[in-house]
Structure 1
């Protein structure tokens, strides 16, 4: 896990917009607006009109990249109504090309505004939960060796973060997770999951969910983790009631009727993701913006609230 955390922030030579434009023209035959760089965690990403060019980090595994593309194709074939991006084939029909020695793909652009920071009605979250449930159900039949990987953001890997935090509550939760939650998770249904449906990866347009973005954290894991990841970002900085959390859960369960055993693990899984946000983002120095102490304090307040549910 230490190497995984180090790799998340490892520097590399970035592709510039001129290189992105040349790649689009050479490999995809796309001539259009000048590519505009978008901020991402790990790769080089550019928007050029109605497409997105993603050039992978040099250390990214080709099998994982192929898995992400295959997962998007599988979802499109299984349930075309789910608003996910599509992979645009190269001029020779491939799913990717080599650009500056790195794997590059072009995805369709989805219009909409990020859910993050918006004041949306509770009914939206029920609809969003239902759509994530459909995505989870669509991925249930997907198989790919690239999904069986070590990933810093995979919830069962929480115990490996123990040496990266000194916060007493973090340590207490990690120890309990290791002793109680991990053995329980091993007995629950596993499949490939999206694993990153937070408000920064969801799009809204005209009041409806317009997109579920970013398969970069897709992984083979307990299926309940898909719901847990989304819910961890919806917990407000106050005690219950949490109407958005309840609505999203109801929507998801209407599509994927989780077992009682899976639902019992949700509070600890929410706690796990909340700790990961603090520890991993501290490594990446992101999400904290101009007030890192404020971000981490708010995150730990949410962790206290979540632990009341266990």
Structure 2
């Protein structure tokens, strides 16, 4: 199975796209490799400042979705949240540009460092998520705003069947058994989250992709949140659980050495940061561990169903790791749902 090929800009494409913006003299262009391989990005130093040009992934070019993401970003920026500004086109003041089959966006460039996996950064990420929820709460979500997320999702369940067709190595009895157990674990976690009252929690605008790759840091603090493509209306604990998972995951160079458990210092720090700005409602904290299991499994099966790989890892290498990590969270759910300063197991 072929890997996802990284998309790139060609010189003529950049000239055409940038001609629609009033940036003054272009001094330099620098390809940026972080983020989605299907969405190329270029850093720009120009007479009028520093910017980032992005070509959207073809699967995420729905105009209503883009308008919602940009309206959210502008709303957050007005509220003082660290969201980069969206730069309008010279003519018509549009916040996205369509040229042929491609859609482009231009943003203010924000300098910062990637996540270094420290408790201080995890704490700041949790605090910033609470600030995001507070600022986004006053945005009126108009039009066909998406509402599905990783919880109790039929697309995730169908992905298990697709993996068997797409991923080499999953035909074996061992891999087939893991897929079966992960499917059962996802279903059980969905039921457990629902039993905590998730369907009754108030709906609001959420980010739905709160992870280190969508943030820049300076001196241990979040400097910018840089991607809003997955924003939707759901329950805020969907973001909290995914963030607690993402900011506490422990990996390494060799997947065989990845531990089952998260980094509990970072896990506790993330939730403490969130609670420094917002209190949990009854049932929300209990829903976090099962939602972490759902998020973990959903994040793995989506690329496996599409390409047969998880990043550079084949299905046969990553599936046992996901199973072990999910089982650990399930086994320690009670401890994980206690207050952050008690999250030692």
Please show how residues 167-186 of structure 1 align to structure 2 within 5 Å: 167-182=179-194, 184-186=197-199
208, 231, 236: which is aligned to 1:195?
208
Structure-2 change in CA distance of 1:12 and 1:239 (3 Å) = closer
Unaligned ranges ≥5, structure 2? 161-175, 251-258, 334-345
142, 150, 155: which is aligned to 1:155?
150
In terms of mean alpha carbon deviation, does 85-94 or 268-277 score higher?
85-94
How far apart are 1:42 and its partner, in Å?
A: 3.9
Structure-2 change in CA distance of 1:21 and 1:131 (3 Å) = same
TM, length-normalised to structure 1: 0.84
How far apart are 1:192 and its partner, in Å?
A: 1.0
Match of 2:133 in 1: 136
Please show how residues 96-107 of structure 1 align to structure 2 within 5 Å: 96-107=96-107
Do the aligned residues in 2 keep the contact of 1:147 with 1:219 (CA within 8 Å)?
no
Structure-2 change in CA distance of 1:111 and 1:29 (3 Å) = closer
275, 292, 309: which is aligned to 1:253?
275
How far apart are 1:198 and its partner, in Å?
A: 1.0
Structure-2 change in CA distance of 1:48 and 1:295 (3 Å) = farther
C-alpha root-mean-square deviation of aligned residues, in Å? 2.8
Do the aligned residues in 1 keep the contact of 2:137 with 2:205 (CA within 8 Å)?
yes
Match of 1:123 in 2: 120
CA distance in structure 2 between the partners assigned to 1:14 and 1:284 by the alignment: 20
Match of 2:29 in 1: 34
Match of 1:67 in 2: 68
Match of 2:39 in 1: 43
CA distance in structure 2 between the partners assigned to 1:182 and 1:41 by the alignment: 34
How far apart are 1:179 and its partner, in Å?
A: 3.7
Structure-2 change in CA distance of 1:302 and 1:96 (3 Å) = same
TM, length-normalised to structure 2: 0.76
Structure exhibiting the larger radius of gyration computed from Cα positions: 2
